[in-house]
Amino acid sequence: MNRSFRTGRRQFVAQSAAALTAATLPGALQRAVAQEATPTATVAASPSPDSGETRVRFTVGDVEIIVLIADNPTSRDFLSTLPLTLEFQEFAGNEKISYLPRELTTEGSPGTKPLTGDLIYYAPWGNLGFFYSDGGSYSDQVIPIGTVETGLELLNELETGPVHVEVVQGEATPEANM
């Protein structure tokens, strides 16, 4: 292949990709705006009877971390797996992760830019992640599960043993489910 043919081919591919992006972007933006403007039904698994919000307790030894659960299809699917026991490990210097026993549904769930205190589901690997520092840029593959309400400073303890995960009924206190 001669050099001018390769250069022309690269330019053609780049121009084609740009044209395809330009043609599909307006429709994608319209769908995104329509999804935000369209109210959706709220179906929460095991909601707290007092507040209409769902909280989950992560317990290792005598350490408890309480997470307020987001309302989306992936977080509802996560709730359907509870109770369960998980093992957490350090990942990338900003996250504690654990692999779930099965993949969660992601259809209809928004992506996010993870921030300190966020509990997320990373769809490509099928794992949960607690961010203890801001996690970078937005991704459709990073789905919000919830936000730590109490115990953010205790996330390092998740690596010390099996972590029991369960829905908290009523108030987010250690006595609530005893």
Query: What is the structure's pLDDT at 52?
Result: 66
Domain for residue 166, yes or no? yes
Query: What is the structure's pLDDT at 148?
Result: 99
Domain for residue 3, yes or no? yes
Domain for residue 109, yes or no? yes
Query: What is the structure's pLDDT at 169?
Result: 81
pTM: 0.68
Domain for residue 48, yes or no? no
Domain for residue 45, yes or no? no
Domain for residue 47, yes or no? no
Terminal Cα distance for the chain, rounded: 74
* Domain match, 127 and 165 both: yes
* Domain match, 96 and 134 both: yes
* Domain match, 84 and 30 both: no
* Domain match, 127 and 60 both: yes
- Structural domain containing residue 7: 1-39
Query: What is the structure's pLDDT at 170?
Result: 65
Domain for residue 44, yes or no? no
* Domain match, 35 and 67 both: no
* Domain match, 67 and 21 both: no
* Domain match, 29 and 63 both: no
Domain for residue 49, yes or no? no
Cα separation of 109 and 118, whole Å? 15
* Domain match, 21 and 78 both: no
* Domain match, 65 and 30 both: no
* Domain match, 101 and 24 both: no
* Domain match, 81 and 154 both: yes
* Domain match, 75 and 17 both: no
Profile the chain (178 residues) by mean pLDDT over runs of 10 residues. Answer: 43 44 42 37 36 90 98 98 98 96 98 98 98 92 98 97 93 43
Q: Per DSSP, what are the bridge partners of residue 150?
A: 66
Domain count for the chain: 2
